[in-house]
């Protein structure tokens, strides 16, 4: 059996130790590389699956959110160090929320919500979503972000040229959304000094891109002023306002009812005078509760002291007849009262001349027909034009004419007329 010396043993031990060290060293280099390669491979299965930007289009200084969803479609967990938004164009209001995330398991999803505020004007920007892995580098994903300052558009659809003091006038507005995203909670609120409206505001709700809605208000103005309509709306969580101002002038409404009197007749029977004619609504609104009478110096009397017509639609007309007494006057005012659809009372006066009407003298027999029609008249008495009443027919004169005609006819048939003619000829011959 061979024997080894001490020196031989020491050399063998040294050789074994050196080999062990080399093995350990090579193992320590290989395992981290394998681990890093494995982590990077696992991280490659993490991807962004959904990005939501709210609002879809920011207005300058708006605040909103960017929400990013990720999915681990691999078979091993992936450790995540932090997540953030990187961009010089936006300010992240919750930038420290995701400084320590943890791991996302296989088949799991994770969501990150960042509260942001753009610091730039109109345009398209791409802030970077940054996901920093613990052992395997990072993930970067650009997020499209749009900034557009275009507000809602407000215009007047219908408004009177002038407002009638104390009366309701309708104003209709059109509210349009020219933006590329929808807006919510659209509300129209009117205001102004001396302005009262039947409703304090009009809620239109949401407006989709290129959508238009209308709002109608009944406005009562007591003085000349400015009428302002404040249109408020939400772009995401942000409240914005668009104000439209229209001037209010006080005057007669162009669309109001307008009473026109024509075909006037004036006649007299006894001590009373009768005025008749037509009333036409020449305006663009209905007239309600129309009444016709006369004012001083005329004194309304029976049978028609006040003539009630009722309601007249635009371009409609009705006849009237009022009776009154008057002493020593050359004219009387004809008064037409009516109400608009809101109940406000209006009054119009038309002066009626009495110059061609014979007024009763002292001692005149009551009930004796007197007078003639005025110059602006209407004749409704048939072909003879006897006026509007049977009391105006000249019965006596007609009877005398009829009797004379009958007498002539009888004399001619009896031969009396020819005999009289013959006698006249004989006298002329002598």
Q: Can you give the residue range of the structural domain that contains 333?
A: 259-384
Looking at residue 369, its pLDDT comes to 39
pLDDT at 233 over 60: yes
In a domain, 21, yes or no: yes
Q: 28: exposed, middle or buried (C-beta count within 10 Å: 0-12, 13-18, 19+)? A: exposed
Q: How confident is the model at residue 364 (pLDDT cuts 50, 70, 90)?
A: very low
Which of 188, 216, 248 is where one domain is finished?
A: 248
Whether the predicted pLDDT of 363 surpasses 50? no
Using 50, 70 and 90 to split pLDDT, how confident is the model at 146? very high
The answer to which of 108-117, 153-162, 214-223, 343-352 has the lowest mean pLDDT is 343-352
Chosen domain end from 192, 225, 248: 248
Question: In degrees rounded to 5, what are phi and psi of residue 19?
Answer: -65, -40
- What are the tokens at 106? 């296989």
CATH number, domain containing residue 113? 2.60.40.10
Average model confidence (pLDDT) across the chain: 82
The verdict on residue 343 lying in a domain is yes
416 found inside a domain: yes
Residues 140, 159: one domain? no
- Given a cut of 70, is residue 358 above it in pLDDT? no
Q: What confidence category does residue 41 fall into, taking pLDDT thresholds of 50, 70 and 90?
A: confident
Residue 239 lies in a domain: yes
- On whether both 219 and 322 belong to a single domain, the answer is no
Q: Is residue 123 located within the same domain as residue 238?
A: no
Residues whose CB is less than 8 angstroms from the CB of residue 98 and which lie 6 or more positions away in sequence, other chains included: 82, 83, 84, 112
Task: Please give the structure tokens belonging to residue 235.
Answer: 């772009």
Residue 42 pLDDT > 80: yes
Please spell the DSSP secondary structure of 131-189, one letter per residue: EEESSS-EEEEE--EEE-----EEEEEE--SSBPTTSEEEEEEEEE--SSS-EEEEEEE
Residue of higher predicted confidence among 248 and 396: 248
Query: Looking at residues 309-324, what average pLDDT do you find?
Result: 91
- Looking at the fold, whether 87 and 192 belong to one and the same domain comes out as no
The CA-based angle 370-260-356, given to 5 degrees, is: 20
Q: Report d(CA 371, CA 360) in Å as an integer.
A: 9
Average pLDDT (234-247) is 96
- What pLDDT band is residue 237 in, cutting at 50, 70 and 90? very high
Which pLDDT score, from 0 to 100, does residue 304 have?
A: 87
Question: Which CATH number characterizes residue 274's domain?
Answer: 2.60.40
Q: What is the pTM of this model?
A: 0.60
Arithmetic mean of pLDDT, 406-418: 70
Percent of the chain residues topping a pLDDT of 70: 76
Is there a single domain that holds both residue 170 and residue 236?
A: yes
In a domain, 211, yes or no: yes
Per-residue model confidence as pLDDT tens digits over 210-232: 999 999 999 999 999 999 999 99
Indicate if 409 and 369 belong to the same structural domain. Answer: no
- Same domain for 303 and 369, yes or no, is yes
The pLDDT value recorded for residue 393 is: 52
Q: How far apart are CA 386 and CA 208, in angstroms?
A: 72
pLDDT in tens, 64-105: 999 999 999 999 999 999 999 999 999 999 989 999 999 999
Judged against a pLDDT cut of 60, whether residue 33 lies above it is answered with no
Asked if 75 and 141 sit in the same domain, the reply is yes
Most confident residue range from 187-191, 367-371, 392-396? 187-191
Residues 352 and 347: their CA atoms lie apart, in Å, by 16
Asked whether residue 387 carries a pLDDT value surpassing 60, the answer given is no
What band does 166 get if pLDDT is binned at 50, 70 and 90?
A: confident
Residue where a domain stops, chosen among 199, 225, 248: 248
Is the pLDDT score of 392 beyond 50? no
- Structural domains of the chain, count: 5
Residues 172 and 189 in one domain: yes
Percent of the chain scoring above 90 in pLDDT: 52
Four-point Cα dihedral 391, 393, 397, 398, nearest 10 = -130
Using alpha carbons, list the distances in angstroms from residue 172 to 93, 155, 188, 312, 341: 42, 9, 11, 26, 18
The span from the CA of 90 to the CA of 60, in Å, is 11
Query: Confidence class of residue 381 from pLDDT cuts 50, 70 and 90?
Result: very low
Tell whether 430 is covered by a domain: no
34 Cβ contact list (under 8 Å, min separation 6): none
The pLDDT of residue 429: 57
Same domain, residue pair 141 and 168: no
pLDDT for the residue 118: 96
Taking 60 as the threshold, does the pLDDT of residue 117 lie above it?
Answer: yes
Kindly state the average pLDDT of the residues 25-36.
46
> Residue 309 falls within a domain, yes or no?
yes
* Helix H or strand E encompassing 30: helix 6-43
The per-residue pLDDT for 391 is 44
The pLDDT confidence band at residue 253, using thresholds 50, 70 and 90, is: low
Whether the predicted pLDDT of 368 surpasses 50: no
Eight-state DSSP code of residue 24 = H
Nearest Cα neighbor of 200 from 217, 183, 185 is: 217
Q: Is the pLDDT of residue 247 over 90?
A: yes
Same domain, yes or no, for 116 and 231? Answer: no
pLDDT, greater one: 117 or 382:
117
Q: Is residue 426 part of a domain?
A: no
Same domain, 205 and 177: yes
* φ and ψ at residue 81, rounded to 5 degrees: -80, -55
């Amino acid at each position: 059996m061979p024997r080894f010396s001490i020196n031989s043993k020491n050399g063998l031990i040294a050789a074994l130790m050196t080999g062990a060290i080399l093995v350990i060293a090579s193992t320590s280099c290989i395992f981290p590389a394998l681990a890093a390669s494995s982590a990077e491979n696992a991280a490659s299965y993490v991807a962004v699956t959904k990005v939501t930007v709210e609002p879809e289009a920011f207005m300058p200084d708006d605040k909103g959110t960017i929400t990013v969803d990720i999915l681990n479609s691999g078979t091993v967990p992936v450790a995540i160090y932090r997540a953030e938004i990187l961009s010089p164009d936006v300010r992240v209001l919750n930038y420290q929320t995701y400084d320590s995330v943890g791991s996302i398991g296989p088949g799991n999803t994770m969501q990150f919500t960042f509260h942001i505020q753009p610091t730039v004007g109109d345009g398209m920007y791409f802030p970077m979503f940054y996901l920093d892995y613990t052992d395997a580098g990072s993930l970067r994903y650009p997020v499209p972000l749009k900034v557009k300052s275009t507000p809602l558009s407000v215009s007047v659809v219908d408004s009177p040229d002038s407002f009638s003091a104390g009366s309701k006038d309708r104003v209709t507005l059109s509210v349009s959304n020219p933006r590329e995203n929808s807006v919510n909670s659209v509300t129209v609120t009117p205001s102004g000094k001396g302005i009262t409206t039947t409703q304090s505001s009009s809620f239109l709700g949401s407006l989709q891109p290129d959508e238009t809605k209308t709002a109608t208000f009944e406005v009562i103005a007591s003085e000349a002023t400015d009428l302002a309509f404040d249109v408020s709306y939400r772009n995401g969580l942000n409240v914005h306002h668009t104000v439209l101002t229209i001037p209010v002038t006080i005057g007669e409404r162009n669309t109001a009812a307008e009473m026109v009197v024509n075909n006037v007749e004036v006649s007299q029977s006894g001590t009373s005078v009768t005025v008749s004619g037509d009333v036409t609504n020449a305006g663009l609104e209905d007239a309600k509760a129309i009444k016709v009478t006369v004012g001083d110096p005329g004194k309304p009397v029976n049978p028609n002291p006040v003539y009630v017509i009722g309601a007249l639609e635009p371009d409609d007309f009705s006849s009237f007849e009022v009776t009154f007494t008057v002493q020593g006057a050359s004219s009387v005012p004809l008064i037409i009262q009516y109400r608009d659809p809101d109940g406000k009372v209006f009054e119009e006066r038309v002066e009626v001349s009495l110059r061609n009407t014979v007024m009763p003298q002292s001692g005149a027999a009551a009930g004796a027909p007197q007078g003639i029609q005025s110059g602006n008249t209407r004749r409704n008495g048939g072909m003879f034009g006897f006026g509007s009443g049977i009391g105006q027919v000249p019965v006596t004169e007609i009877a005398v004419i009829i009797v004379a005609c009958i007498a002539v006819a009888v004399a001619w048939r009896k031969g009396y007329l020819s005999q009289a003619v013959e006698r006249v000829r004989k006298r002329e011959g002598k």
